[in-house]
Structure 1
Amino acid sequence: MIKRNLLVMGLAVLLSACGFQLRGTGTTELAIKELDLSARDAYGPTVTQMRQVLESSGVKLYSGAPYKLVLTGEQESQRILSYAGAGRTGEYQLSTVLSYDINGQGNLPLMSDKLEVQKVFIHDGNNLVGSDQEANDARKDIRRELVQRMMLRLQQLTPTQLDQLQQTAEARARAEAAALEAAQKAEAQTPRQSPVELPRQ
């Protein structure tokens, strides 16, 4: 028994030394230390939970931070997977898609992406209260996983990557501004046709 415990402890130490971490137990250290967080639903449960996790990870959240995470949309859908017991009991699948943008300095768009999480729950036509609770629990699990995945996405962003994205966004903005200016100049230099005078009868 002692040998087995020592073996398990030894494996745990070895794995942690290799950088392996169990899901939900590892550090959530981010390269981004300052962030502006906003959402279409400013007081919704997802952005509230996201704010709590970011702050607990040492990220300073304030308006005007160099980078901005915008939760642009959260769409939920539900479909029936299977029926049982004359259609009264069945499996339902809940899906939530979370769309987000990351903006840089000058509010320039750096990247845009989305996350999707699905959960299955049992709906019992004879126990509507219990079924509603099952659906609510599934929504909570989905929200928690969306926040975890969002944190993983943010963890993968290094200062170098963010600088490159910022430079690309600035170059694109300059090119668009130059193209707009050239179009305006070309329009201004184009001679305007004088109205055609109709011969008098």
Structure 2
Amino acid sequence: MIKRNLLVIGLAAVLSACGFQLRGTGTNEIALKELDLGARNAYGETVTQLRQTLQNSGVKVQAGAPYKLVLTNEQDSQRAATYSGGSRSAEYELTTVLNYEVQGQNDAVLLADKLEVRKIYVYDGNNITGSTQEATQVRQEMRRDLVQGMMVRLQQLTPEHLAHLQRKADERARAEAEALKEAQRIQDNTPQQSPLEVPAH
């Protein structure tokens, strides 16, 4: 039997702190009404579900939007949590970590963070097929949890906040460009040493 609903405590805290509405009990109100969406795996299940959820929440997901959400990496892992003595059953902890970025103009990274979800299921060595199906179902539930967690993160973003981050990114880019330009000027104005001449004997 699966031990369900064991999310990462941090994610659960975020969900409750933000007053997140469960499916069927409310709407996911997002201040951003237009967003581009990309992923390392452009046709993966996570980005596909997220795109659909965003669209269902009234967000236009399209290229050319002022900001872009990029799912940069998604990693699944599994480890043994407990063993049952004398039997062939064991508890396994499944973990999925999703790294993401929000990009602005000129592909500037405005923020980067990650989401992490964990769940535990029981593997029964006497029922391998059933256990495999259970693991697959748990992974699907975890993916849904990731999508809902991402919606919570997006609810916290406003155009004003992202515009502020964009200004800071532009300032950094200008400062780096000026520093590079100054370094090049110094190099250009520094006399180049001539090769040493070896006296003829």
TM over 0.5: yes
Q: Structure 2 matches for 1:137-176, cutoff 5 A?
A: 137-176=137-176
**Larger Rg over CA atoms:** 1
Normalising by the residue count of structure 2, what TM-score does the alignment of the two structures yield? 0.87
1:182 aligns with 2:182: yes
Match of 2:69 in 1: 69
Q: Which runs of 4+ in 1 moved over 3 A?
A: 19-22
Match of 1:130 in 2: 130
Match of 1:23 in 2: 22
Residue 76 of structure 1 aligns to a residue whose secondary structure is strand
Shift of 1:23: 2.6
Report the Cα distance in structure 1 between the residues aligned to 2:160 and 2:121, rounded to whole angstroms.
42
Shift of 1:20: 6.1
CA RMSD of aligned residues (A): 1.5
Say which structure, 1 or 2, has more relative contact order (CA 8 Å, 6+ apart): 2
Match of 2:47 in 1: 47
Aligned residue pairs: how many?
183
**Identity across matched positions, percent:** 57
Match of 1:105 in 2: 105
Match of 2:191 in 1: 191
Report the Cα distance in structure 2 between the residues aligned to 1:161 and 1:38, rounded to whole angstroms.
21
Gaps of 5+ in 1: 1-18
Using a 3 Å threshold, how does the CA distance of structure 1 residues 198 and 21 change in structure 2: closer, same or farther? closer
Residue 92 of structure 1 aligns to a residue whose secondary structure is strand
Match of 2:80 in 1: 80
The answer as to whether partners of 2:21 and 2:28 remain within 8 angstroms in 1 is: no
Report the Cα distance in structure 1 between the residues aligned to 2:168 and 2:54, rounded to whole angstroms.
27
The answer as to whether partners of 2:21 and 2:27 remain within 8 angstroms in 1 is: no
Residue 30 of structure 1 aligns to a residue whose secondary structure is coil
Using a 3 Å threshold, how does the CA distance of structure 1 residues 123 and 197 change in structure 2: closer, same or farther? same
Which stretch shows the higher mean deviation, 114-123 or 100-109?
100-109
Match of 2:7 in 1: none
